[in-house]
Amino acid sequence: MISKTMISKKTVKNRLITPRFQAKIGASLFVLMLFSLSGCISKAPKTAFYTLAVQPTKIQAAPSVSASIENTKNSLVGSETVGVGPITLPEYIRNSQIVSFTSESRLHVASNAAWAGDVNANLTRVMGLYLSKHLPTTSVQTFPWDRRARPAYQLIVRFHQFGGVKGKSIMLDAQWQLINTKTKTLAEQGSLSVSEPLDGMSTHAYVAGLNRAVQTLTFALIREI
């Protein structure tokens, strides 16, 4: 009697778990997995793209700037043409993603914030626009330029520091040279350091601070040349 009952239970169980039933369970699990994956993908933050841009503020005194200059020849003649570039940025800035500092020697690479294009070319264009606007009698070109229309002076800028700590400040540190392309001699050279406080911890505030710092540094450079 006991053996017949056990056989009967096993038979019912085996009938319930048929290959067709197993296939239905597998299909259901697969559909649930797809829904789960699509949910994860939809929740992933989208990448925000940023760019350096000309700021509307007028030229004014910049107490946050420290500068040194060495005149070796006559300074830039107002009626001459000047070429901006090449501009060299630190290697860590050449990443397409936006990089900030978390300490003096540690970097943070943003996972969902990137530059909209070549930041070096973007910076060259912005600095060139500032010079064009505030040196109205000077014709300004940006690197690279046509060899047949070489500018009379070439402004070379090398940034050793280009960034900062979110929520604290931006630091720009650069050396510049003004080359007379006709005589191939050094007309002027100097260095500039800019400190710009930040308004918040966001990437938006960080890029806005970079824009203000670039403007301040370029204005200081205009005063020197």
Residue 64: give its domain's CATH number: 3.40.50.10610
Q: How confident is the model at residue 64 (pLDDT cuts 50, 70, 90)?
A: low
**98 and 170 within one domain:** yes
**155 and 121 within one domain:** yes
**209 and 150 within one domain:** yes
Report d(CA 109, CA 105) in Å as an integer.
Answer: 13
Burial-class residue 172 by CB neighbours within 10 Å (0-12, 13-18, 19+): buried
Alpha helices of 44-199 — where are they, by DSSP H? 119-134
Q: In this predicted model, which residue has the larger pLDDT, 31 or 183?
A: 183
Report d(CA 85, CA 89) in Å as an integer.
Answer: 11
For position 95, what pLDDT does the model report? 81
**211 and 116 within one domain:** yes
In which domain, by residue range, is 32 found?
Answer: 2-43
**110 and 70 within one domain:** yes
For position 61, what pLDDT does the model report? 44
Q: What is the pTM of this model?
A: 0.75
**82 and 173 within one domain:** yes
Across the range 196-222, mean pLDDT stands at 95
For position 159, what pLDDT does the model report? 97
For position 74, what pLDDT does the model report? 47
CA-based nearest residue to 157, from 174, 170, 145, 143: 174
Q: What is the mean pLDDT of the chain?
A: 81
Whether 186 contacts 177, CB under 8 Å: yes
**156 and 214 within one domain:** yes
What would the pLDDT profile of 22-63 be if each residue is shown by its tens digit?
555 555 555 556 555 555 554 667 999 999 999 986 545 444
CA-based nearest residue to 151, from 182, 121, 122, 184: 182
Domain count within the chain? 2
What would the pLDDT profile of 74-127 be if each residue is shown by its tens digit?
456 566 899 999 999 999 888 899 999 998 789 999 989 999 999 999 999 999
Beta-bridged to residue 71, according to DSSP, are 188
For 64-73, 106-115, 174-183, which range has the lowest pLDDT when averaged over its residues? Answer: 64-73
For position 16, what pLDDT does the model report? 52
159-162: long-range contacts (C-beta < 8 A, 24 or more apart)? Answer: 159/87, 159/88, 159/89, 159/90, 159/93, 160/90, 161/90, 161/193, 162/89, 162/90, 162/93, 162/210
CA distances to 54, 69, 144, 203, 220 from 212, in Å? 9, 22, 25, 14, 12
Whether 160 contacts 174, CB under 8 Å: yes
Q: What are phi and psi of 216, to 5 degrees?
A: -60, -45
Residue with tokens 């205009």: 222
**123 and 37 within one domain:** no
**139 and 198 within one domain:** yes
**52 and 111 within one domain:** yes
Percent of residues, the chain, with pLDDT higher than 70: 70
Across the range 198-224, mean pLDDT stands at 94
**75 and 33 within one domain:** no
Residue with tokens 């009938």: 15
**12 and 95 within one domain:** no
